[in-house]
Each structure stands twice: as C-alpha cells, then as structure tokens.
Amino acid sequence: MKIDIIGDIHGCFSELKELISKLGYKWDTGGIPSHPENRALGFVGDLTDRGPESLRVIELVWELVTQRNQAYYAPGNHCNKLYRFFLGNKVQIAHGLETTVAEYESLYKKERQSIRKKFIELYEKAPLYVVLDNHKLIIAHAGIKEELIGQKHAKVKEFVLYGDITGEKHPDGSPVRRDWAKSYHGEACIVYGHTPVKAPRILNHTYNIDTGAVFGGQLTALRYPEMELISVPSTMPYAEGKFKNFD
C-alpha cells in the first residue's frame, strides 16, 4: 500500500493542488489527480473553514473518495460541525465555519443542494478513523490512543475529533489538550493533524502533519511507506500565535 497523506487543508485549495502536483500526480481534464504508480491519497480531515475555497476542497475529496476509491478520509472536528450545519442542526457559525457558510450561501440553489449532498455522503461514508496496511497505519484527525484502536464508541469519537481534551479551557478559551503522542507506545503508525505545528512533529510512531496551511505555514504530506515529508508554502498571512510549541 502506497499512500500520500495530507494534513488539515481548511479551504486552502491552491496549496492542495500544488502539493498534489509536487507529489507526482497528474491532473485529468476533469481536474482530478491520479498517480502514475497508482498511489492513493489520504486526508486527516478539516477540509474546510477559514480558507478561501472550502467547497472546491469538498468537491475534490468527495470525487476521489466516494466516486473513484482513490483516497481515504478521516473526518475532523470542523467536518463534524459542517455536517451538523448541513443537517440543519443549530450550530454556532464561528471559528472558521462562517467562511464556508458564506461560500455556500453565495451559490444558486441547485449548486447548494449538490455540495450539501456530496459532503453529507462523504461524511456519512467515512469511518471515525482509517485503518490501513494490515493495521500498521492509522489516519485519525486528532490522533488516537493505543487502547482505543479498534473501538468506535462515543469516547473514541470525541478523541479522534477533538484530541485528548481535559474539559478545561486555556485563558483564550481554547480547550486544554493532553499530549497523548508523548505516551503512545503502539506499533501502528498514527498520522494525524488538528494541532498546528511549525514543522511536522514525529514522536513514538506518531506524525502530526498539520503544519498550519491556513495560518500561513505549510501544507504537508507524509508519503507512506517511505515516511518522506513533502510540503508547499501557504499563501495565507502568517499567524504566529496559532502554532503550538511542544517542549
């Protein structure tokens, strides 16, 4: 199994296109990439919100995952919230969702129905986390603890979407997250995102590849099984305070 797993995109479609090209994929006339050596793509979730072209990211990932079986997708917390928005649930249109909703509301009704249907299908078909290569590779948005692998109850859902949260908040209102990767001792390689870092963080077979594309960092891919990291720079303004420093 050869796969290129891409970190949190958050609507950064131009960076996504550039990264996929840099990985050696060729684009067909319909704007869909495929690799000459039949590699697959993987997505750690958080496709949308904050960036300029969330809906184009949805279209592409939906096509690759649900229509062509050329990609794997693990949903993120932003995906979960957008899904609930599309279902008509009452959600707070904030923390980046406002940009995706603005794009959506600018569309004609038919296009709105189409994108809504596609995203709902993509989300509902997705597992909580993706298990590949005979359990040697796991893609989970916020990561996963060894003892939760193989399970899918509510606690697992909370963990893979939000991380190892304590229930407490930082002074800025953001949730306190435990550093689960530090105490991970599993055999499976865990590829995840969720917490933006200035450079990919590799620790105990875990790979955080959310390098803050939407905060002016980079969009990063991990090539598996080569374990090679490939990035492209972001076109977004740099937001220093959005990156987490691990000591």
Q: Given the rule CB under 5 A, which residues bind Mn ion? A: 8, 46
Toward Mn ion, which CB reaches closer, 25 or 73? 73
Whether 178 and 225 have beta carbons less than 8 Å apart is answered as no
Q: For the CB of residue 168, give the shortest distance to Mn ion in the complex, in Å.
A: 20
Q: For the CB of residue 197, give the shortest distance to Mn ion in the complex, in Å.
A: 11
Whether 35 and 24 have beta carbons less than 8 Å apart is answered as yes
Toward Mn ion, which CB reaches closer, 8 or 103? 8
Q: Which residue is nearest to Mn ion (CB)?
A: 46
Toward Mn ion, which CB reaches closer, 29 or 245? 245
Q: For the CB of residue 186, give the shortest distance to Mn ion in the complex, in Å.
A: 23
Q: For the CB of residue 27, give the shortest distance to Mn ion in the complex, in Å.
A: 26
Toward Mn ion, which CB reaches closer, 219 or 232? 219
Whole-number Å distance between alpha carbons of 213 and 233: 7
> How many residues does the structure list for the chain?
247
Whole-number Å distance between alpha carbons of 48 and 78: 7
Whole-number Å distance between alpha carbons of 111 and 113: 5
Q: Which two tokens stand for residue 177?
A: 């997250």
Q: For the CB of residue 35, give the shortest distance to Mn ion in the complex, in Å.
A: 25
Toward Mn ion, which CB reaches closer, 223 or 244? 244
Helix, strand or coil for residue 4? strand
Toward Mn ion, which CB reaches closer, 25 or 51? 51
Alpha carbon of 192 to those of 45, 60, 140: distances in Å? 9, 20, 5
Q: Cis (ω within 30 of 0) for the bond into 225?
A: yes
DSSP-derived secondary structure for 221-245:
EEEETTTEEEEEE--SPP-GGGSPP
Whether 230 and 15 have beta carbons less than 8 Å apart is answered as no
Q: Which two tokens stand for residue 82?
A: 């957008």
Q: For the CB of residue 81, give the shortest distance to Mn ion in the complex, in Å.
A: 11
